[in-house]
Structure 1
């Protein structure tokens, strides 16, 4: 059992879930949510902060600032609290309430922008706010996860070797695409490996990361309203775009089997099962990366009213929501002491 003195010193990198009994394919899910930040973003956050410390960009009186839809903001909040830095996260209305509250509980300040950018998202507005903030005071240090090479280097050093160590005969890897840090770190590492691995990038429908028209996206995590500066498509073999309705159905299907994962995981698993259904997958070894767990999505992906308002009754039926009849009839009697007359 490890003994640590800083929260970012612990990260479980060797846990995989075999999904064959749920989806019928030999698909292994790499679970990245078991650390004190609760997501894969701890790796990138730690790499970027330590790099900024080494090169002197980050000083004791610096104020860390970053744009995040949630998970990186939590990771930076945790690291900032541990190291004694102030941190300001710039986010938007799609950020889960629980995520915002968690950042504030860790001592961070959260600023929510509400104006849409030219692509119908909020990213451009968040970046404009950060640029103005940094121009106003040189104490602000913007790590810029969208352009920072430390973002992909973290996964080149950790995530990809962790997968290869458990699956030396890996055939295909499914990676969700937001900033493209995880995707590019893993893709670069496997490009240099001793055998070919097919890299399938997973994106949300409505994202413009790989081109195409922008569309409504309500689940934070994957997708971008601009092309990710870190993205190099020459390392990607295939791209699959997933509708949010399919993300939600997959999340609920996993939950019905006791695995509560976040929206990004639902998107990646949905893409992986779709891809495997089109292949002769019996001899393939496939891994998908689960960026986080599902607790931060209880008021969105797993909340009936939120789903009904945004997607309608039909999705609730197909997502496998609990049957209201479960609530009918008398409640089971709680166990208690028996009294003799």
Structure 2
């Protein structure tokens, strides 16, 4: 892309933004609120010295908080730019996109606000976590699941990317922006993100972003190649065999057709442990961001460390003698909370001394062994430790399908897979409490819950197990329950001794909130 074309893309016909008070008036207030041309630039925040190990080397590191857009993620810019060209007024009434998270969620909001389109449909992998499925349902998205790899090749005719494309070709009322092939994806960062950063920090020396669809890095790298060629453009890929939500491994970049190779000078590969750790540290210091943000920062730190070791770090400095580095904070951490507990050790999280409801990965090692053994071994090969018991309150049929090793089935007449929470209905709470009191008082079940026995109680969603734990604690026993019950175990990937074989040919399955298979 030449400088002439770049200039055209960055010079909007709209008036220069003067909304210094950040207030949006009128019947189109929401449209203005979502429009970057009507907003102050998204924040650029320097990391304090204790978060920047290269501070004494003259390096300054800045977080570009893409999380502060109304849609709360970096994909809002591509969604805005693509929908602007994809939606036809008075004709388009449905938007379909293959996306497992931020892109399609942003599209759903922007399609409603900017274009009045209320029907947005997400095509995504059947390996998507339950937490993400619920998040998309929360935002009103219709969901269709596809088999095959979680990051499919765009050209795969059997996959969801091409299925969405075909549906749009067959109906003039359906728009499929197709983030994987649409140049307006990466050009959005030439239009908005790049100019914002350059205006905020004209002395920038290093730019760092992750590589997934590669739209962000392609757009920013192309922009800075035009306006300041001396900027080092660092792309970050996932380490081989590892996974961080959003970015890809370098091997999976092969089918990506965006001109990312011309937009990147250096590539670093980063694993999930560093990504989640740095993200957690940033969140606790006040920069709330998800794992891909920590991923980007770790890639920047790795590159700076290699430069320092080689004695070439000073070569990055500008005329002021300092090296100014910008990395992108892409989304928020909340949809990945379970993964933080899964990826990081319990020492990262203060224990809840007053609660008897425990995270699965925190409490299971007290009964079976280390979390590593639970992830790497078949559960049938693991036995309970001495002086421990596991009580499973589910129906016998569900218990038979799958249960924790050596668990005892203690089915409750007042509990079923679709029972309402005892904490939302006092009558249910009373019925379960009375039944549990009778069972534990009668003691005729051969449970042998003697003094010194540590009891773990599990149910479908964790709520009834909390009630049972309270009853047992009142009787002087040490008892805990698993937060989220068996649904949480499934989310962590525990309990797959006999997984159902996936079909060889990907098949699409439409799900709703009542149809998502949780057991």
TM-score tier after normalising by the smaller chain length: 0.7 to 0.9
TM-score if structure 1 supplies the norm length?
0.79
Asked if 1 retains the 8 angstrom alpha-carbon contact of 2:210 and 2:295, the reply is yes
Asked if 1 retains the 8 angstrom alpha-carbon contact of 2:237 and 2:269, the reply is yes
* Map of 1:18 onto structure 2: 46
Q: How many pairs does the alignment contain?
A: 301
* Map of 1:322 onto structure 2: 349
Asked if 2 retains the 8 angstrom alpha-carbon contact of 1:45 and 1:75, the reply is yes
- How far residue 162 of structure 1 moved from its aligned partner, in angstroms, is 1.0
Residue number among 123, 136, 149 corresponding to 1:90 in the alignment? 123
Q: Confirm whether residue 255 of structure 1 aligns to residue 288 of structure 2.
A: no
Over alpha carbons, which structure has the higher Rg? 2
* Map of 1:310 onto structure 2: none
Residue number among 138, 145, 154 corresponding to 2:179 in the alignment? 145
* Map of 1:49 onto structure 2: 83
SS of the residue 2:109 aligns to: helix
- How far residue 101 of structure 1 moved from its aligned partner, in angstroms, is 3.2
SS of the residue 2:247 aligns to: coil
Residue deviations 1:244-294 (CA, integer Å, cap 9, x gap) = 122122222223424331121011011111112223457311111111122
* Map of 2:30 onto structure 1: 5
- How far residue 231 of structure 1 moved from its aligned partner, in angstroms, is 3.2
- 1:108-187 alignment, distance < 5 Å: 108-113=141-146, 115-117=147-149, 121-122=151-152, 124=156, 125-131=159-165, 133-134=167-168, 137-187=171-221
CA distance in 1 between counterparts of 2:184 and 2:151 reads 25
SS of the residue 1:228 aligns to: coil
Asked if 1 retains the 8 angstrom alpha-carbon contact of 2:207 and 2:231, the reply is yes
**Using a 3 Å threshold, how does the CA distance of structure 1 residues 79 and 276 change in structure 2: closer, same or farther?**
same
TM-score if structure 2 supplies the norm length?
0.53
CA distance in 2 between counterparts of 1:110 and 1:163 reads 35
* Map of 1:228 onto structure 2: 256
**Using a 3 Å threshold, how does the CA distance of structure 1 residues 94 and 24 change in structure 2: closer, same or farther?**
farther
Where structure 2 has 5 or more consecutive residues not aligned to the other structure, the ranges are 1-21, 55-59, 315-321, 356-519
**Using a 3 Å threshold, how does the CA distance of structure 1 residues 194 and 238 change in structure 2: closer, same or farther?**
closer
Residue number among 79, 85, 106 corresponding to 2:139 in the alignment? 106
Q: Confirm whether residue 239 of structure 1 aligns to residue 239 of structure 2.
A: no
**Using a 3 Å threshold, how does the CA distance of structure 1 residues 235 and 36 change in structure 2: closer, same or farther?**
closer
CA distance in 1 between counterparts of 2:52 and 2:185 reads 32
- How far residue 92 of structure 1 moved from its aligned partner, in angstroms, is 2.1
CA distance in 1 between counterparts of 2:73 and 2:353 reads 34
- 1:251-330 alignment, distance < 5 Å: 251-280=279-308, 281=313, 283-300=322-339, 302=340, 304=341, 306-307=342-343, 315-316=344-345, 321-324=348-351, 327=353
* Map of 2:94 onto structure 1: 63
CA distance in 1 between counterparts of 2:203 and 2:140 reads 44
- How far residue 140 of structure 1 moved from its aligned partner, in angstroms, is 2.6
SS of the residue 1:201 aligns to: strand
